[in-house]
Chain A
């Protein structure tokens, strides 16, 4: 069956360090992968989309990589700040025909000042 896996344990890091979050998927062949941020009590907010032919995508302090051989995406936040504390979700479109996103369960990031 198709699965999207994110580390369910919270990631705690010190301010200024780089946070790296992992998204692994099985039995998908996605052309795109998306990352969202979700704060408590709010809906997810779109951050980045990366295509299968893009190895890396950057936006300000954010960087996403996409390895279709490993079936993995890494999400990096450099020079992390306490305001980056949130849950980060990866998502992709199933290649079975349904055109809605399937989300991972998310990884909670806590940046300590």
Chain B
């Protein structure tokens, strides 16, 4: 497709389980970002990847969160031992390069922890 694709669109899981969220960026975009948006709140930066450089993980809230980007394309955000406060919409975006380029967002994964 032409846009950023995220899957699943919704995920409900029990507290303590691990979850994996997937992002397919726009082809040719070297930068990929993960954000979290809680109900009625703004976007909270989590992590970004730029080409083959080491990712900027400075926004990850705890060591239960990790992300990887394979082959410079698809990215997976993993949350281990989920907690109720992890419930949020997780948004992925890509851009031609990191920095001031416009970002193109997917519609997110709505994660609910029971």
Please give the residue numbers on chain A whose beta carbons come within 8 Å of chain B beta carbons, in ascending order.
Answer: 31-32, 34, 41-46, 49, 89, 93, 98-106
Contacts and interface: CB of A to CB of B under 8 A. Distances in A.
B52 to A, nearest CB: 15
B111 to A, nearest CB: 14
B42 interface: yes
A40 to B, nearest CB: 11
B70 interface: no
B104 A46 contact: yes
Contact of B102 (A34, A41, A104): A34
A93 B99 CA distance: 6
Interface of B: 4, 31, 33, 35, 41-43, 45, 48, 50, 56, 58-59, 91, 93, 98-100, 102-108
A34 B103 CA distance: 10
Contact of A100 (B4, B56, B102, B106): B56
Contacts of B93: 43-44
A105 B38 CA distance: 11
Contacts of A106: 42
Contacts of A32: 100
A44 B45 CA distance: 14
Given A99-B48, A99-B56, A99-B99, A104 B107 contact: no
B42 A43 contact: no
